[in-house]
Structure 1
Amino acid sequence: MQTPSEKLRDAWTRHAAVVARKINLAWWIQTLSTPLVTVGLVGACVLLLIRRELPGSPAWILGVSALSAVALLAGIAWLVARRHFEKPEQSLVRIEASMRLRNALSAAKAGVAPWPELPPKVDAGVEWHWQRVIVPPLAALAFLTAGLFLPVSARTDPDANRPDEPLAWHNLDSDLERLNEEEMIDETYIEEMKKKLEELRAQEEEDWFSHSSLEATDSLKKEHSAQVEKLERELARADKALGNLEKNAGGMPAAEKDRLLNQFDQALQGLQNGALKPNPQLLDQLKQLDPKNLGQIPPEQLQQLRDAMKKAGQACKDCQGGGQGNEWLDELLEGEGNGEGEGKEPGEEKGDGPGGKGGVDRGPGHSPGMLGAEGQRLDTGDLTGLESKDLSRSLPGDLLQLQDGEHDVDKSAVGPRAGGATGATGDGGDRVWKDALDPDEQKALKKFFE
């Protein structure tokens, strides 16, 4: 059990340790403040440069790097500030000097005097100036936050100097992704096509548009288009045959039934032999289906099978490489319905499209809108004269004024004249001949027409 003297000693020692920690923390903050603001400003610039030069850098890696730099700086500042650190014994001296205890604590520490009583408040004579303490860390935090989150545009795009790849590659990629998303096509074909595309992309960029590369691309595109069209066609044939067999199962002639069964078998063989096949599940269902006994199959199951076939066919139809790229040209030349060729005589047959089929007794049949819909005719209105305020700037040919006027006709009667003249001045050419030409001109003109 401690004596009262030992309790006073421990109490004064604790107060001295608190003061020592306070003094040491102040030395550390003072040593860290200026470098922390500097590192915060420089770190913000470095973060902005990294985000501009390497736009793909993850933000969390940059944040952890900034915190690591600050922690390293704090450790260095702690080591530098340690030479100014204060021990509890020195803090006791600071306390007795501030409270004017006349070396009572130092004498008690040396054991030559008793420990003085502990006052209600121990004053070491030091206080925090929070304005000076808190500003540097907040400034550094603001700088680093700006470096991490301030919007900055990338200086160089990694793909900026990369040439655009052929459009056919993009279309093939889109088709393969669409077929893969529908999950109705065998993945083997998709993987093979992607492998071929990667082989084309593996060439040197300057060779992407070379003659050999474009030929290989065109061949791959045609191959893909043919496979897509074939799969769509065979699926449509099989679905049509199943639909007709199901609809007319009871009263269908034997010959017609055999024809539909043969059509389904041919479509199934085409699906099996093509490079582009339906997914294995759908293909197995078609193989196990017996079209001769459709009545024994539940209608829901048969309808589900047909829906899967239609879905796969629609996926093929949506492909850009599936032969749909020239539909605009077909519509341009054929139109959406039957039309008559121009120059067709009444009673002649109509052509199959806007242009018809031509013929020796028909017009060419060009569609009036073959190059697009005719624009609406604009009513330009009447010409309106513009009044020029500054005639010094007018040019030859400028319209200065339009004015409506009437001929001034002299309607007064003319009586007989001397010498029996009637006063007639002639009309038309006679007037020009007699009144507009002088005698020399009349002779020259008469000689010319002889």
Structure 2
Amino acid sequence: MKRNFLKLALLSTALTATSAMAQDVTLNIESWRNDDLVLWQEQIIPAFEAKHPGIKVNFTPSAPAEYNAVLNSKLDAGSAGDLITCRPFDASLALYEAGHLSGLDDMDSMSNFSDVAKSAWQTDDGAVSFCVPMASVIHGFIYNKDAFAEVGVDVPTTEAEFFAALDKFKEDGTYIPMAMGTNDQWEAATMGYNNIGPNYWKGEEGRLALIAGEQKLTDEQWVAPYATLAKWGAYLGDGYEAQTYPDSQNLFTLGRAAIYPAGSWEISGFNTQADFEMGAFKPPVQNAGDTCYISDHTDIGIGMNAATEHPEAAKTFLAWVGSPEFAAIFGNALPGFFPLSKEPVDLADPLAKEIVGWRGECESTIRSTYQILSRGTPNLENETWGASVAAIKGASAPADLGAELQEGLASWYEPQQ
């Protein structure tokens, strides 16, 4: 009996130890989104741990500007977290190619995302996906509803209506028609060229054709947006050439401008700062009835450190990130950062809800310069900044801008030679 009792005691001890080990898995997440720390600590992590009591999660962000360097140092030293928040395109692709991120195509949850959603975290041939898409930002125009009502302006849907609206605000004189400057350059390309451009080059059709070398930057659909931007300068107010990005934000939220060419990431800040009701409209099409295209740009994903000691637990977390529960928490806690899963998310914020609704009306694409085409010198993304500014200022003809960009791209990108 003593022998049997001893065996039972040993077995009980072993089972207790095994149970403790099973509950002792802790996953660490690397990220640059340090401003999201409270969201993770108070909403995301508790929701996950409630469903998965055997797994604990720590969110350990770095400063955004330091993230790439800090992460690479940790990976080289073998001290990086189990889960790695992924920036879009080349930075994360380099991590995968260096063996730091695992392929995730065997996960059922990856089928919850479209090809466009996954494109920021795939190999160039699309054969391997290495991060679960979390959220995108959508481009369009945010407007002051009070200003539109006061001046009697209708929300535009076509380019002709758009410029008619700008003309009406300019004639009235109460409001700057549109708040955007060219001092910082990137806004002209991001909220200008890549905002309106997809309606010209037909979104993914044109973007992928440019990568394949089947279209050129001198083609009409790539030059025409510069001709449209050339009309913007007359509506941006005095001194727009020296106006910074924060200047533009302030002009709009203080109620001095009627329209703001926007990325959806502005929503939270604008909700706090503006004391008027806001609405949004998608990039106007050239003709009524045309198919519309929106820049629904992949912004953030999350992948698994290939060296993690807890791959099963890490994949459990990644599968949950692909779930409707995560999408609802993330989308509502950060209005303007839209979940990328195929299943719609019910958003509470009215402006975010209005903008994400465009997905059901238009075709989604991503910024034309972000995948593959900005790896060489000259960098097409940066060159597009300068070209967009030159178009708005009227410093160069649209055809000349297209020719210059095409020459730069063809100098290093073989499919365009």
Using structure 2 for the length normalisation, give the TM-score.
0.17
Q: Larger RCO: Structure 1 or Structure 2 (Cα < 8 Å, ≥ 6 residues apart)?
A: 2
TM-score by length of 1: 0.17
Q: Which has a greater percent of helix?
A: 1
Higher strand share: 2
Which protein is bigger by CA-based radius of gyration? 1
